[in-house]
Amino acid sequence: MDTTARTTFTRKAERGSHDRHAADAILAEALVGHVGFADATGAPVVLPVAIAPDGDRVLVHGSTGARLFRTLASGVPACLTVTLLDGLVLARSAFESSMDYRSLVVLGSFTEVLGDEKLRALRVLTDHLTPGRWDALRPMTPKEVAATMVLAIPLAQCSVKARTGGTDEPAEDRTWPIWAGQLPVVVGTGTPIPEPGVAQHLPGPVAPRALGGPGAA
Amino acid sequence: MDTTARTTFTRKAERGSHDRHAADAILAEALVGHVGFADATGAPVVLPVAIAPDGDRVLVHGSTGARLFRTLASGVPACLTVTLLDGLVLARSAFESSMDYRSLVVLGSFTEVLGDEKLRALRVLTDHLTPGRWDALRPMTPKEVAATMVLAIPLAQCSVKARTGGTDEPAEDRTWPIWAGQLPVVVGTGTPIPEPGVAQHLPGPVAPRALGGPGAA
């Protein structure tokens, strides 16, 4: 992972990292990222996208008819940011209150995944978002594959910022009479809601499962 | 809420809305948004920020020393996007699989909140992120207030996009032998972790509470 002027930390550098393992850990948990690019007027636009890690890159996918994906496919400068909110940090003062989080910022541009790689990339995306499901799904038709755009951004220029742990308060605050500590944020799936007529014995990841921390809450 | 060329939906327009109530509902639940702006090279950067609704605007805050907040305070074009992931939609095909989500995109620029408004805005932020806590906290000192920048972006130019409900599959897919339906995404706080020496009888929002859907999972 390169460290460039654009990924050099200017503040709270102790929370920053160019560690690829930290990036991979975030991507292993996250289902959604936010991609930024300039619109036709040059102004920034940020939109949510489903994501999946794929080795040294991150995959996104969507309709070939979507302006977002057509724009990204043209190779414009982009930023993909993936944030997991791990907890609320409740200090005795507003000033020292904070959040525990992990955030990955990937700078660069997207390129379209084509040819033989495309179907494999769609499998990677599907099995990241819904683990193990690809092999049991009705296979994609050539028409569906053609109507889907898959894009990848390399993890070449990226950085991770994170905060963990409890409050970091001055000693004189610690006697203030209010509860203080961490409220972990927990994300998971709730009770599955089957489509009409779906038999419960059918295979599929229907048991509630834990998910990584959210980018919001 | 104005509808302008920049907030006109080009695709899946049925999922789009300029309804202010939809925007308010997202902001009532969300704790984190993602803000996009152009860096010194003109390339887009997207960073996570804690957010709070405040009438016709959204508040963010951070250190006066942070490059992000200094840049935003200069009035550059910005985009604040707030996404709640409500569930995974598991169709029998990868193509029809989707996510239930709500996403608010706010275009515009931030202005600094100053003077008498600033302390009120800090209360709004604190009580959104940790409901009811402001009055029990050790009060902010003038030095702390001075070291904190509060910024607001108006909800003038914004749009909401959302997907809800189950799969939207063609009839011929509905006999494929795999479970299909919705997996709701549930977000909440887990077991609180007190700071050393914190007495359990102290006031504070320490019981686990439900939070809105995440921007990731």
Query: What SS3 state is found at A13?
Result: helix
pTM score, whole prediction = 0.92
Q: Where are the beta strands (DSSP E) in chain B?
A: 16-17, 32-38, 44-50, 52-54, 57-63, 78-90, 98-108, 111-112, 148-154, 157-163, 181-189, 193-194, 210-211
Q: Which among B79, B136, B190 is the nearest to A45, CB-wise?
A: B79
Kindly indicate the confidence band of residue A49, based on its pLDDT and cuts at 50, 70 and 90: very high
pLDDT above 80 for A202 = no
Out of A187-201, B13-27, B128-142, give the one with best mean pLDDT. Answer: B128-142
Q: Is the pLDDT reported for residue A151 higher than 80?
A: yes
Cα–Cα distance measured from residue B104 to residue B158, given in angstroms and rounded to the nearest whole number: 7
Nearest-by-CA chain B residue for A69: B11
What is the structure's pLDDT at A147? 98
Residues in chain A closer than 8 A to B182 (CB atoms):
192-193
Cβ distance B185 to A189 less than 8 Å, yes or no, reads: yes
Residue of B8, B95, B200 for testing the chain A interface, max A β-carbons within 10 Å = B95
Question: What is the average pLDDT across B126-140?
Answer: 94
Q: Quick one: pLDDT at residue A213?
A: 45
What was the ipTM of the complex prediction?
A: 0.92
Question: From CA B215, how far away is CA A31, in angstroms rounded?
Answer: 9
- Chain A CB within 8 Å of residue B175 CB: no
Kindly determine whether residue B95 and residue A31, on different chains, have CB atoms separated by under 8 Å: no
Q: Does the beta carbon of A207 lie under 8 angstroms from any beta carbon of chain B?
A: no
Q: What is residue A2's predicted lDDT score, i.e. its pLDDT?
A: 47
A2, A159 contact by CB (below 8 A): no
The rounded percent of chain B whose pLDDT value lies above 70 is: 86
| pLDDT bracket for residue A125 (50, 70, 90) | very high
| DSSP three-state, residue B62 | strand
Q: Mean pLDDT across the stretch A48-59?
A: 98
User: Percentage of chain B surpassing pLDDT 90?
Assistant: 78
Local confidence band at A199 (pLDDT 50, 70, 90 cut-offs): confident
Q: Concatenated DSSP letters for A92-160?
A: SBTTT-EEEEEEEEEEE--EE--THHHHHHHHHHHHHHSTT-GGGSBPPPHHHHHHEEEEEEESSEEEE
pLDDT at B14 over 70: no
Chain B residues in contact with A217 by the CB 8 A cut-off are 29-32, 187, 211-212, 214
